[in-house]
Structures are given as C-alpha cells and as structure tokens.
A = this chain, B = another copy of it.
Amino acid sequence: MRTARPREFVNLTEKVREVVRASGVVDGLVLVSSMHITSAVFVNDNESGLLHDIEAWAERLAPRGDYEHHRTGESNGDAHLKNLLLGHQVVLPVSRGDLDLGPWEQIFYGEFDGQRPKRVIVKVVGDGGSRLELGVDGGVPGPSRPR
C-alpha cells in the first residue's frame, strides 16, 4: 500500500473480508495490524465528517512539532504518537466463515507518514475448513497471509 497523500485514511473492510473468506476459517479471530509504527489500524464509522474529526483530533493531541526523534534526521515524531493514540492493530471475530462486524464497524488504515510503500498484515486463526485436514495429512494448514 502506498497512499497518494502523506496523511490518508483507507477503508480496509472489504479486503479483510476477502481474506477471511479465502482462509477457510469458520470460527476464529482475524488480526489486522500495521507493520509500521507511523500508521494506525482502527475500527470506526465510515462517515467522511467523522473521519475529518478523527484526523483533527489526532493532530490536536499528537501535533506535528519538534521531537527528540528528529535528531536522527526523521521528521515524523507526531506520526509515531498518532499510531499510539489511534492504535496499532485490531482483532475482529470470524463467525460462520465471515467477518462478524456490528452494523457500523469498519476497519481503517490511518497513514500519517505516507507516499512510500507500507504493509498491513491480515492473519486469520481458528477452526474450520483448513483445520479439518489436520488429522489427515499431518501437514501445516496455516491460513493464508496476504499483505
């Protein structure tokens, strides 16, 4: 993933749903986690006004500015703090082979230091299709791991 703008929210819900369905897990958990510490993964409502509110709120509580981290040559100290404020990851339930969300829950990637390649990991664990093979071939039926 490479966002066009330095700061951008990307709705991951449909991609995560596809991964869950493809995994064959019927009942379990799915982890959606940033692999970077200058972006966040969080659950909230897909309403554009609210997403602006979230961005403004994160800027108010973890503003751009001068940080000790910048002595290393970096300029993204605020992005590290926004990751901590909004959250590095979410874990969501998988039921009946599908993502089991409430009516308004959507999964967002929040980029705060973008315009370069970033990865989100989606990992499904639990009981189900692939697990039924376990006793048969003794193989390792680990769920798929798209990034």
- A contact residues vs B (CB 8 Å cutoff): 26-29, 31, 33-37, 42-45, 47, 49-50, 52-54, 57, 61-62, 67-72, 77, 80-81, 83-93, 95, 100-105, 119, 121, 123, 125-128, 131-132, 134-135, 138, 140-143, 145
A104–B134 touching, CB < 8 Å:
no
Nearest chain-B residue to A97 (Cβ)?
B140
Q: What CA separation (Å) do A37 and B61 show in the bound complex?
A: 20
Could you jot down 20 A-B contacts, CB within 8 Å? A29-B31, A33-B92, A34-B102, A35-B102, A44-B84, A45-B69, A49-B70, A49-B71, A50-B67, A53-B69, A54-B80, A54-B84, A57-B84, A84-B85, A88-B90, A93-B121, A93-B123, A125-B125, A125-B127, A127-B140
Q: Give how many copies assemble into the complex.
A: 3
Q: What CA separation (Å) do A34 and B45 show in the bound complex?
A: 13
Q: Which of B34, B91, B131, B134 contacts A91 (CB 8 A)?
A: B91
A69–B49 touching, CB < 8 Å:
yes
